[in-house]
Amino acid sequence: MNPRIFKYLISFIFFILMNSHIHAQNVVPGTSFCEQGMRINNGGMMVLGGWAVANMAVGAYGWSAFEGPKKYFYQMNLFWNVVNVTIAGIALSNNLGYDCSSITYDNYMNSHLSTEKTLLINSALDVGYIGTGFLLKYFSTKASKRNDLLQGYGNSLILQGGFLLAFDVVLYALMRNERISFNTNISASFSPALPAFHFVYRF
């Protein structure tokens, strides 16, 4: 994929996720923390789904239109993003029926923290995908019969791993920032109001 196109796509991730975060600031307090978190999460899944659909469409074309390493590059992009679009679709479907008013604060906080941890784990895996891509490219120089396949798959893993790393890091930063901001607001709201009733909730 053209580096300039990849740069634009990364910028699109930041725009969508930051836009979701900004919109979330206007939610009325009460169930706001849950609703803000869900809005950010849904924005992320839409970015992931959009990336997946675009890669599947371009991948199907490239697979049939090119030969050599490019053929396998687009082939792997297609295969890889079948998984991504499935993950995004399931997540959005589950979130669609999520009722923030029916869940306790503690339960949602646990879910929010679990999402943050998952994103950190995914980020480590993404680095592994990128490393595997470079490893495949290295082995492609030593395997004459599978040179095209290993080189194409290696380039694909580097691209897909790079995108997912940027995606997971940005989404984690937004989710973590939302949690910290909410807990800071709780502390600020309760601490100065009634000295006898000092409530601080921190993570």
Amino acid 11: pLDDT: 62
CA distances from 105 to 35, 99, 109, 181 (A): 12, 12, 6, 15
Amino acid 98: pLDDT: 85
Amino acid 25: pLDDT: 45
pLDDT by 10-residue block (mean), the chain, 203 residues: 57 56 44 88 95 97 97 98 97 89 85 95 98 96 92 97 96 93 65 42 39
User: What is d(CA 159, CA 130) in angstroms, rounded to the nearest whole number?
Assistant: 8
Query: Which DSSP helix (H) or strand (E) runs through 56?
Result: helix 32-65
Domain boundaries, the chain: 3-183
